[in-house]
């Protein structure tokens, strides 16, 4: 089992990761009757793409002996569409630390970002815009 999720009332949940016991709390966003005091489920979807990108690039870098990406950051913007209400776009800016990345490493890391497991799992109608910033 991956997680146990409990509805707490007031449009809030707590998800407990089975292996580690770590918790994630969610709250509905203000534009959907919530208080916005925690990640919304759709925030987690968008953020999941960013964390998957960074994790997968980290795996490739370590596996292939390429420049590490420690300190890389991701800025995530989720864009909601209506009719039906859904996440329509996820815009992510990946900011790599100042390091002498080779042209090959940059290409491999950018390809990895577009082919991480979450990116491949999302519906093709969801626009995934990924920008790479190399300091």
- The residue range of the domain holding 75 is 41-134
Give the number of domains in the chain. 2
What pLDDT, in 10s, does the model give residues 89-118? 999 999 999 999 999 999 999 999 999 999
Whether residues 54 and 116 fall in one domain: yes
Whether residues 69 and 125 fall in one domain: yes
Q: Which residues pair with 5 in a beta bridge?
A: 15
Whether residues 100 and 57 fall in one domain: yes
Whether residues 82 and 102 fall in one domain: yes
- Please give the pLDDT value at position 14: 98
Whether residues 59 and 114 fall in one domain: yes
Tokens of 71: 């300190």
Whether residues 85 and 61 fall in one domain: yes
Whether residues 78 and 128 fall in one domain: yes
Tokens of 8: 């707490």
- Please give the pLDDT value at position 94: 98
- Please give the pLDDT value at position 92: 98
Helix, strand and coil content of the chain, in percent to the nearest 5, comes to 30, 35, 35
Whether residues 112 and 129 fall in one domain: yes
Burial label, 19 (beta-carbon count in 10 A; 0-12, 13-18, 19+): exposed
Whether residues 75 and 18 fall in one domain: no
The bridge status of strand 127-134 relative to strand 86-96 is parallel
CA distance 63 to 16: 30
- Which stretches of the chain score pLDDT less than 70? none
Whether residues 14 and 75 fall in one domain: no
- Please give the pLDDT value at position 54: 98
- Please give the pLDDT value at position 58: 98
Whether residues 46 and 28 fall in one domain: no
**pTM of this prediction?**
0.95
Name the region of 10 (left: φ>0; alpha: ψ -120 to 50; beta: rest): left
Query: Where do we find the tokens 């950018």?
Result: 110
- 56: CATH: 3.30.300.20
Whether residues 67 and 9 fall in one domain: no
């Amino acid at each position: 089992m991956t997680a146990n999720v409990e509805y707490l009332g007031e449009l809030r949940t707590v998800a407990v990761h089975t292996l580690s016991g770590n918790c994630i709390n969610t709250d509905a966003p203000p534009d959907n009757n919530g208080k916005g005091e925690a990640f919304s489920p759709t925030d987690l979807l968008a953020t999941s793409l960013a964390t998957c990108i960074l994790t997968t690039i980290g795996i490739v870098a370590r596996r292939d002996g390429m420049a590490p990406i420690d300190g890389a950051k991701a800025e995530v913007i989720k864009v909601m569409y209506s009719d039906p209400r859904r996440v329509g776009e996820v815009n992510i800016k990946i900011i790599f630390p100042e390091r002498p990345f080779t042209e090959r490493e940059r290409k491999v890391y950018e390809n990895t970002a577009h082919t991480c497991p979450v990116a491949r799992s999302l519906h093709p109608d969801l626009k995934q815009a990924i920008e790479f910033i190399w300091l």
